[in-house]
Structure 1
Amino acid sequence: MRKIVLFGFTLLFFVQCTSIKRHNKHLNDLMAEEKLKSDVDFTYRKLRDLHPNLYWYINKKDLDYKFDSLKSTITKPMTRFEFYKKISPAVAAVRQGHITVYPPTKLMTKKETKALLKRGTGPFSQFDFELFDGKLYVVKNKSYDKTIKTGTEVVAVNGTKPINLIKQYNKFYSSDGYNTTFKTHFSGKRFSTFFTNENGIKDSIKFNFKFNDSIKTITIRRKAEDTIGKHLKKNRKKLAVIDKTKSKANRKKKRVHGYYSVEKNYNRNLHFLEKDSSVALMKIRSFKIGDSKTFYKESFSKIATYQSKTLVLDLRNNGGGRLNEIADLYSYLADSTFVFLDKSEVVSKSSLFKGAYFHGGSFGVKALKTIFSPLMYSYLLLTVHKNKNGKNYYATQTKPHKVSKNVFKGKVYVLINGGSFSASSIISSNLKGSKRAFFVGEETGGAYNGTIAGFMPRVKLPNTDIKIRIGLMFIAPHFKTAPEGRGIFPDIEIIPTLEDRIKENDPEMNWILNDVKSNISEISKTK
C-alpha cells in the first residue's frame, strides 16, 4: 500500500512538472482568430450561466455590444497575453470587483520557486508603494540602500513610467459599482504585479527616483538573506524552546490572531490606547486567517473587564474574507437581535453544484468529490429555494442572531478607506445602516448594497487556458442605501496625504482621539 501511495505522489509530481513545461513552452504561441473568438463566446456564456446579477451596473444591450465589439477587433492571430488585454476590459465592464481575469504568465515548479526564494528578496519586495495625485511614491523602504527616503517619487522603472502602466491595467479590473477609491488604493500597491506581468520576474531593476527635485538612477538588486541574522534567529528559537510557557503562548497567539510570516505581523490585534484603557483599538487586516471566534471572545471579554468606553474598529485596507466571521464580530457590536444578510441570490442549484463544488483540486480530490456529490447535491436541494419572483436563493447568515454575552455598548468608531472591500464593506453597511457606529476616512472600495462573491470558482477558457474568477452568490447586507454602486461614505472624510506618510502621521486616528477627548470634556462640563 505504501508503495502504491508513493507511486501516486511521484506520478502526480511528474504530471504537474510536465504540465508546467508544456504551459511555458506554448505561452507565446500565436493563436488562431476562430479559437480566440470561441473563448470570447465561452466567457460571456459562463458569465450568464453563473453570475446571479450580471446586468446590475450595465444593461444587457450594452454588455452584448461590448462582447460583440470585442470579437470584431480580433482580426489576426495573437498570443494569450495579447488576448488577456483584449478580453479583460469587456469582463471589467460588469463592474464587479470579485471578477478577476488572470493574466497568462510563466509558471514555476516547486524546485524553481524554492531556488528563487533562496536567492533572496526581489527588488520590488524591498519597497511599499502608494499612489498620490497620479504619482507613485515609496512609503516604506526595506532595501539595503537607505538613501531612498519615504516620500521619494518613482519616476520610471526600467524606463517605464508607472502612471502609464497603471492607467493601462486600471482598464483590466473593476471595483464594485462606480466608486474610484478602490482603484486608487489597489493600483499603487499592485504596480509591481503589473510590471511583472509585462516583464517577468527580475533579479535587478533600474529605478529613476525623484526626491526634493533631484533625480537619481539607482539599481536595486535581489537582496540575499542575512545569514548572520538567520543564524541569530535560529539561536533565539533554540533559547525560546527552553521557556516552554512563552513558546506555547506565542504559538497560540499566532494561531488565534493569524500571523503573516512574510510581513511579520498579526492579522488581528487589540490594543488599549489610554492609561485607563478607556479606548480599545481593534485592527483587522482581513477576515481570513486565524481563529477569529476565539479572538473576538477573548478580546471583548478583555474590553468588558477593562470597562472600555470607546472602541475603534480599524478596517482600512481590509480586503474581506469569511461571512461567518463578520457575522460573529457584529454580534459583539449590535444593539439588539439582528438579521445580518438577506438571502443570497444564485442562478440555480446547478450553478453552485457544478460551478463551485466540482471546481478545482487534484485528480484525487475530484474523485472524492464525486463520491460525496450525492450528499452535496441533497444539501443544495434543501438550502437553495425558488421564490415567488422565480429567482433562486441560498440562505446563509439570514436567521435572527442574538447579541453575544460581552456585547460592547459604548461608542464605536470605524476607520475605512478605498481598500475596505467585500466582507469589510458588508459589516460596515450593517453598522452604518443600524446607526451603531461613526465612520471616519474615505468611501469604501466595496459597495454598500452588496457584492457578488461567496463561492468563486476559477473558470478556464478552453483554448487560451486563461482563468476567470466568477462570484456565484449575490450577497446583500440587511441594510440598504439609495445610491446604487457606491460604497459606505464616512461621517467625517479624512484622506491621508503624502506628507502624512513621510511624517508617519495618522490623521484619521488622530481625529478620533481628539473627538473622544472633546466628548469627555463636554460631559465633564455638564456635571
Structure 2
Amino acid sequence: MKKIFILVFVSLLFIQCTSVKRHNNHLNDLISEEKLKSDVDFTYKKLKRLHPNLYWYTSKKDLDFKLDSLKMTIRKPMTSLDFYKKLSPVVAAVRQGHTFVYPSVKLMTKKETKALVKKGTGPFSQFDFDYFNDKLYVIKNKSYNKSIKTGTEVVDVNGIKPKDLIEEYSKFYSSDGYNTTLKTRSAGRRFSSFFSTQNGIKDSLRFNFKYNDSLKVITIKRHKEDTTKTVKKIKKTLTAIDRIKSKALKKKKKVNGYNSDLKNYNRNLHFAERDSSVAVMKIRSFKNGDFRTFYKESFSKIDQYKSTTLVLDLRDNGGGRVTEIANLYSYLSDSTFVFLDKAEVVSKSSLLKGAYFNGGSFGVKAVKTIFSPLVYTYLLLTVHKDKNGKNIYATQTKPHKVNKDSFKGKIYVLINGMSFSASSIISSNLKGSKRATFVGEETGGAYNGTVAGFMPLVKLPNSQLKVRIGLMLIAPHYKTEIKGRGIFPDVSITPTLQDQIKGTDPEMDWILNDIKSTISEIPKTE
C-alpha cells in the first residue's frame, strides 16, 4: 500500500511539473488571429450562459459593439499577454468587480516555489506602497536598507514609471458599477502585481527614489534574514500558567483567524476608552477563523463591559462569506430582519456546470460525476422561477431574529474604497435601516448588490487565459435609487499622504471626538 501511495504521489508530481513546463514553454508563442477571435466568442458565450444580469451596467448593444470592435482590432497573431491586454478591458466593461480575466504568467512547480521562498523576501515585499496624486510612495520600509524614509517617492522601478503601469493596468479590472474609489485606494498595493505580470518575478530591482527633491538610485535584492546570530533558545519546563497561555493563544488564532504572513488577526476587538464605553471591532475580511465563536464571545464581552458605542471597522475588507455577515448583522440589527433578496442565477445548469463541475483534477471530476444526480436533485428543489420568469436561489432570505446579545447602542462604521463585496452588503443593510453612522469614503462594492457567490474560472481554449465569472446576483434587502454606486459615508474623510506617513487615523479620530462632543452636550441632572 505504501509503495502504491509513493507511486501515485510521484506520478502526480511528474504530471504537475510537466504541465507547468508545457505552460511556460508556450507563454511567448504567437496565437493566430482566428484562434484569438474564437476565444473572444467563447468568452462572450460563457458570460451569457453563466452571468446573471450581464447587462446591468452596460447595455447589450454597447457590449456587443465592444466585442465586435475587439475582434476587428485583432489583425495579427499575438502572445497570450498581448491578448489579455485587449480582452480584459472588454470584460471589465461589464462593471462587475468579481468578473475579470487572469493574465497568463510564468508558473513555478512546488519545488521551485519552495526554493524561491528559501532565498528570502522579494524586493517588492520589503515595502508597503500607496498612491497619491499619480505618485507612488513608500508608506512602510521593511527592507534591510534603512536609509529609505517613509514618504519617499518611487520615481521608477527598473526604468518603469509607476503612473504609466498603473494607468495601463487599471483598465483591466473594475469595481462594481461606476465607483472609482476602489481603483484609487488599491492602486499602490496592486503596483507590484502589475509589474510582475509585465516583467516576471525578480530577485533584484533598481529603484529610483526621490525624497525632499533629492534623487537616489538604490538596488534592492531578495533578502534572507541572518539567523546565524540567533541566540539558542534555552529549554524550559512549561508551568501550568504557560500551558494555559499557550492554549489560549492557540484558540485565539483559530477563532480570530491568524495570518502568519502578515502576523495579524482577521478579527479583533478592543476598547478605545479606559472605561470600555467604546468598543472597536476591526474585521479585515469575512474569511478564515471561527466567526460564530468570535462574535458570540465579543458581543457578550461588549454587553458585560456595558459599552455604549461600537465602531465597526470595515476598511480594506474585501468580503467573504455571506453566512458570516448575516450572523454579524444579527448582533447589530434592532429588530427582526430579512438580510438578502433571493439570488438570481441564469439557470439550474449554470450552477451545476459552471460551479460544480468546473475545475479539479480528473479524479475529482470523476467523484463529482458520481454525486451529480444528488446535486441536480438539490438544485431542482432550490432553484425555481419567480413571477417575473427569473431563476432564483434562496439563501439568507428568511426573516432572522436578532441575537439575544445584540448591541443596542450607537454604531459607527468605517468604510473606504477597498470595502468590497460582503462588507458592502452588510453596510447596505446597516445604511438602509439607519442603524449606523458611516465615516470614510464611498465603498468599492455597490449598494444594490453584486454578482458573486460561486465564481468558477473558465479557461479559454486557445490563449489559455482564465476568466472568473460570478454566478449569483446577491442583493441586500435595502436598496438605493442611485444606480451603480457604493455606500456613501455620512461623514466623508479621506486620509492624506501625511496621515499615512505619520500613522494617524483621521476617520477614527473624528468618531472619538464626535462621541466626546455628544456626551458633553447631554445636560447634567441634579
Question: The TM-score by the shorter chain falls in which range?
Answer: over 0.9
Cα distance change, pair 448–22 in 1 and its aligned pair in 2 (3 A): same
Q: Secondary structure at the match of 1:190?
A: helix
Following superposition, the deviation at residue 216 of structure 1 comes to 1.0
**CA pair 241-473 structure 1, distance change in 2 beyond 3 A:** farther
Counterpart residue identity of residue 431, structure 1: L
Deviation, structure 1 residue 371: 1.5
Give the TM-score normalised by the residue count of structure 1.
Answer: 0.97
How do 1:129-140 and structure 2 match up within 5 A?
Answer: 129-140=129-140
CA spacing shift, 1:487–1:241, aligned 2, 3 Å: farther
SS of equivalent residue, structure 2 residue 172: coil
Q: Contact 1:241–1:247 at 8 Å: present in 2 too?
A: no
The CA distance in 1 between the partners of 2:345 and 2:482, in whole Å, is: 23
Question: How far, CA to CA, are the matches of 1:337 and 1:417 in structure 2?
Answer: 28
Structure 1 equivalent of residue 70 of structure 2: 70
- The answer to whether the aligner puts 1:227 opposite 2:232 as a matched pair is no
Per-residue Cα deviation, 1:162-215 (whole angstroms, up to 9, x for no partner): 010000001000000001000011211110000001111111101111111111
**Secondary structure of the corresponding residue to residue 255 of structure 1:** helix
Q: Deviations over 1:273-317 (max 9, x none)?
A: 111100000000000011111100000010000000000000000
Distance 1:377 1:308, change over 3 A: same
Distance 1:239 1:195, change over 3 A: farther
Name the residue aligned to 2:34: 34
Partner Cα distance (1:27, 1:236) in 2:
51
Moved more, 346-355 or 137-146: 137-146
Q: 1:57-111: CA deviations, max 9, x gaps?
A: 0000000000000001110110111111110011001000001211000000000
Secondary structure in structure 1 of the residue aligned to 2:233: helix
Please say which of residues 133-142 and 107-116 is displaced more in the overlay.
133-142
Which residue of structure 2 lines up, in the alignment, with residue 54 of structure 1? 54
CA distance in structure 1 between the aligned counterparts of 2:57 and 2:484, rounded to whole angstroms: 7
- Note the aligned Cα RMSD (angstroms): 1.5
The residue number in structure 2 matching 1:104 is 104
Correspondence list, 1:434-513, <5 A: 434-513=433-512
- For 2:234 and 2:344, locate their aligned partners in 1 and report how far apart those are by CA, in whole Å: 53
2:12 paired with 1:12: yes
Residue segments in structure 2 that go unaligned for 5+ positions in a row:
none
2:169 aligned with 1:169, yes or no? Answer: yes
Aligned partner of residue 424 in structure 1, secondary structure: helix
Identity %: 74
SS of residue paired to 2:458: strand
Aligned counterparts of 1:490 and 1:108: Cα–Cα separation in 2: 43
- Counting only pairs closer than 5 Å after superposition, residues 192-341 of structure 1 correspond to structure 2 as 192-228=192-228, 231=230, 235=233, 243-341=242-340
Q: Aligned letter for 2:56?
A: W
- The Cα of 1:226 is off from its aligned counterpart by 3.0
Q: Which residue of 2 aligns with 1:349?
A: 348
Q: Quick check: 1:99–1:468 contact (8 Å CA) kept in 2?
A: yes
CA offset digits 1:335-380 (Å, max 9, x no partner): 0110000000000000000000111222222222111111111111
3-state SS of paired residue (1:440):
strand
- 2-side partners of 1:227 and 1:147: how far apart? 22
C-alpha distance in 2 between matches for 1:388 and 1:86: 40
Of the structure 1 ranges 354-363 and 234-243, higher mean CA displacement relative to structure 2 is found in 234-243
- In structure 2, how many angstroms separate the alpha carbons of the residues matched to 1:419 and 1:180? 10
What is the letter of the counterpart of residue 475 of structure 1? I
5+ residue gaps, structure 1, are none
Shift of 1:150: 1.2
Return the offset for 1:219.
0.8
Instruction: Tell me the equivalent position of 2:94.
Output: 94
Mapped contact 1:240–1:247 kept (Cα < 8 A): no
1:451-476 per-position Cα deviation (integer Å, ceiling 9, x unaligned) = 00000000000111110100000000
Task: Please list, as runs of the form range in 1=range in 2, the aligned pairs for 1:151-166 lying within 5 A after superposition.
Answer: 151-166=151-166
Q: For residue 240 of structure 1, report the CA deviation from its aligned partner.
A: 7.0
Counterpart residue identity of residue 161, structure 1: K
Alignment-mate amino acid for residue 130 of structure 1: D
What's the counterpart of residue 376 of structure 1?
375
Which amino acid in structure 2 is aligned with residue 358 of structure 1? Answer: F
Give the C-alpha shift of residue 239 in structure 1. 7.2
After superposition, the Cα gap between the structure-2 partners of 1:490 and 1:218, relative to the gap in structure 1 and judged at 3 Å, is same
Q: Which of 211-220 and 322-331 deviates more?
A: 211-220
| C-alpha distance in structure 1 between counterparts of 2:311 and 2:178, whole Å | 28
Partner SS state of residue 522, structure 2: helix
In 1: Cα distance, 2:327 partner to 2:428 partner: 15
Task: Please state how far the C-alpha of 1:433 moved relative to its aligned partner.
Answer: 0.2
Q: Deviations over 1:433-457 (max 9, x none)?
A: 0000000000000000000000000
Name the count of aligned residue pairs: 525
- Identify the range of structure 1 (84-93 vs 368-377) with the bigger mean alpha-carbon deviation: 368-377
What are the Cα deviations for residues 111-146 of structure 1, in whole angstroms up to 9, with x where unaligned?
Answer: 000000000000000001111111111111100111
Q: Distance in 2 between matches of 1:245 and 1:524?
A: 47
Would the aligned equivalents of 1:240 and 1:246 in 2 still touch at CA under 8 Å? no
When normalised by structure 2's length, the TM-score is 0.98
